[in-house]
Amino acid sequence: MKTKSFLLIGMGTFGHQLCMQLAEQKNAEIMIADIRAEALEDLLPYVVSAKVGNCCDEKVLESFGIPSFDTCFVCIGGNFQNSIQIASLLKDLGAKKVIAKAEQDVQAKFLLRNGADQIIYPEHDVAERIAVSECNSSIFDYIELSDGFAIFEISPNEKWIGKTIRELGVRAAYNINILAVKKEGKILIMPSPGYTFREDEHLMVLARLKDIEKVTSR
């Protein structure tokens, strides 16, 4: 597996969480940067390099060797002007890909116009996932993809129990693609059309939320 290199700027709560998640991947090499040395200390065992400096300064960023990173993350919170400035500088310095944190849509628009290739909404995404799962007892979790699609973990519709994927014509009838079945800690990837749905199992499906709601409403 090819090693990928990442630069994380702004090591607040989100920056910390992202760094720890990346560090769990075997193919990730991480550099972190913050204007405060104390924000970096507890992450030193998990990264290959840590830099203290003002990343709004072009010379500071230039010293990092920006073109060498596969992805640069702008994780700054509380100072949107700094986020825009850093995103713009990263692109000017040859960043391959810039992903920036935003809290509002208007911030996202400015970031996308000023160097960011992709926007993440940490607080919004967490709130949305909680709202969806708590309001629908048949949706246990989901991972949002693109174009309105997501991978959902759901329980099978009561009407499906004892019937096969082929009998129900799940894909054609419900616009849902079944990726896997999970039961008692075991996962069956890509079940065959003859697979029979059972109680007490979870399904991993690819679909739009509006289609999922039709089969999980009780």
Say whether both 136 and 164 belong to one domain.
Answer: yes
Of the candidates 159, 192, 196, the residue with the CA atom closest to the CA atom of residue 174: 159
Q: Tell me, yes or no, whether 108 and 40 share the same domain.
A: yes
Sheet holding 49-52, edge to edge: 49-52, 28-34, 4-9, 71-74, 98-101, 118-120
Rounded CA-CA distance 41/214 in Å is 48
Lowest-confidence region among 15-24, 31-40, 127-136, 158-167: 127-136
CATH of the domain at 98: 3.40.50.720
Predicted confidence (pLDDT) per residue in 32-42, tens digit: 999 999 999 99
Computed from CA positions of residues 57, 62, 63, 64, in that sequence, does the dihedral angle turn out positive or negative?
Answer: positive
Per the listing, tokens 């993350």 go with: 73
Average pLDDT of every residue of the chain: 87
97 and 184 share a domain? no
CA-based nearest residue to 66, from 31, 23, 102, 39 = 31
pLDDT in tens, 109-125: 999 999 999 888 776 56
Give the separation between CA 14 and CA 12, rounded to whole angstroms.
6
DSSP letter for 197, please. P
Contact 205/176 with Cβ under 8 angstroms?
A: yes
Domain boundary among 120, 137, 172: 120
CA distance 106 to 180: 38
Kindly report, residue by residue over 62-92, the tens digit of the pLDDT: 999 999 999 999 998 778 899 999 999 999 9
Number of domains in the chain: 2
88 and 22 inside one domain: yes
Are 142 and 180 members of one domain?
yes
Residues 79 and 134 reside in one and the same domain = no
Q: Which domain holds residue 174?
A: 125-216
Q: What is the pLDDT of residue 163?
A: 93
pTM of the model: 0.64
CB atoms inside a 10 Å sphere around CB 4: 14
Q: Are residues 91 and 190 in the same domain?
A: no
Same domain, 171 and 94: no
**Residues 114 and 146 reside in one and the same domain:** no
Residue where a domain stops, chosen among 120, 142, 171: 120
CATH code, 172: 3.30.70.1450
Q: What pLDDT, on the 0 to 100 scale, is given for residue 183? A: 85
The residue among 64, 98, 120 that closes a domain is 120
137 and 113: one domain?
A: no
Within this chain, do residues 106 and 168 fall inside the same structural domain, yes or no?
Answer: no
Tell me, yes or no, whether 84 and 143 share the same domain: no
